[in-house]
Amino acid sequence: MESYEQPVLSVRHLNKQYGSGCVNCRASRGGRLIKNYCPVCSTVYACRDISFEVQAGEILGVVGESGSGKSTLMQCLYFDQSVSSGEAYINSYKSGRENIFMASTQQQRYIRNLMMGKVYQNPVMSLKMNFSAIGNIADKLIAAGNRNVREMEARGKELLEHVNIPVYRVKEAPGNFSGGMQQRVQIAKALSNNPPLLLLDEVTTGLDLSVQASVLDLIKKIQRQLQISMVIVSHDLGVIRMLADRTVVMLDGRIIEQGLTDQILEDPQHSYTQQLVQSLLI
Ligand SMILES: Nc1ncnc2c1ncn2[C@@H]1O[C@H](COP(=O)(O)OP(=O)(O)OP(=O)(O)O)[C@@H](O)[C@H]1O
């Protein structure tokens, strides 16, 4: 199969548990859990048998209530957490033939720096608040092996302009910026090495509605212009409706439904998804 036909990201049977499990929860296949939690040994089954694909140029939405495992999934994909088991393949890494979870720490750093970008709900997770905005971009470019200061400065300005940070503020620290501006700097930083895949975790949560709308517009614009693939996590189906081509619905660590976003909105199959869709209409 040619590489352009392969999914950009393919995740198979990803499991992540916090705790080692016990006779009660290991044998029960979830039957004796309270949601995702074992009351006997306190193990949390945060992600259970998660499988999905992201195609080139597609935005995949992941929606679910608080605690359903969305952030854990993103943390595993970006190597912020190790998986308990499972596989993931990126078509730009070793032609999509090697499980990235089995790659060495050095290789995982390489994948993070060149093949993925991540935007967090809390900008402190990705931005150095005591660096300038442009210094933050250079930081990511240096991590990927760049050394040419002039080139990095030009790239930083270009990216920050692209996300609507005024050129006269690029040398200011993001700590001085508003929440929406900080998210835009994070997006610029995540895009700096032209990754084929962007992971966005609750990036508009906590922002004012109008700021939220401008960040969502920016994400849409970037996706159209760069044709980059994205996985966007949100507890808000409104955000997913606006951005995602396809959607995965999570509950208690499992995927309970996935399909085209329009299809899920028009004809939700699972009772939890039906509730979510109904809440959009109220
Ligand atoms: N470090 C940890 N140790 C133990 N349990 C954890 C840890 N991190 C997350 N969990 C548990 O894993 C489950 C999934 O959490 P996660 O943060 O992935 O959910 P979420 O869907 O992203 O929720 P939210 O939208 O509130 O962030 C929850 O039950 C949570 O308590």
Q: Which atom of ligand 1 is nearest the CA belonging to 202?
A: 25
Per the listing, tokens 């660590």 go with: 253
- How many domains are there within the chain? 1
From 18, 65, 235, give the residue whose CB has the most ligand 1 atoms within 8 Å, as the site to mutate: 18
In a domain, 176, yes or no: no
- Report how far residue 247's alpha carbon sits from residue 62's, in angstroms, rounded to the nearest whole number: 6
Joined together, the tokens standing for residue 49 give 């048998």
In 69-228, which ranges are continuous DSSP H helix? Answer: 70-77, 105-114, 133-143, 149-162, 179-191, 209-226
Q: Ligand 1 centroid to 196 CA: how many Å?
A: 27
pLDDT value of position 24: 87
pLDDT value of position 3: 45
In the chain, which ranges are continuous DSSP H helix? Answer: 23-28, 70-77, 105-114, 133-143, 149-162, 179-191, 209-226, 237-243, 261-266, 271-281
Q: Beta 116-119 vs 197-201: how paired, if at all?
A: parallel
In a domain, 93, yes or no: yes
Cα radius of gyration rounded to whole Å, the chain: 19
Q: Ligand 1 centroid to 256 CA: how many Å?
A: 17
Domain interval for residue 9: 3-115+195-281
pLDDT value of position 28: 64
pLDDT value of position 29: 65
pLDDT value of position 31: 65
DSSP label at 34? B
Which residues sit with their C-beta closer than 6 Å to ligand 1?
18, 36, 44, 46, 64, 66-72, 235
In a domain, 184, yes or no: no
In a domain, 234, yes or no: yes
Q: Ligand 1 centroid to 37 CA: how many Å?
A: 11
Which of 18-21's residues contact partners 24+ apart within 8 Å by CB, and which partners?
18/43, 18/44, 18/46, 19/43, 19/44
Q: Ligand 1 centroid to 48 CA: how many Å?
A: 13
The CATH number of residue 51's host domain is 3.40.50.300
Phi and psi of 13, rounded to 5°?
50, 45
From 37, 71, 76, 240, give the residue whose CB has the most ligand 1 atoms within 8 Å, as the site to mutate: 71
In a domain, 152, yes or no: no
Q: Which residues of the chain have pLDDT under 50?
A: 1-3
Tens of pLDDT along 157-176?
A: 999 999 999 999 999 999 99
Q: Ligand 1 centroid to 71 CA: how many Å?
A: 7
In a domain, 84, yes or no: yes
In a domain, 42, yes or no: yes
In a domain, 205, yes or no: yes
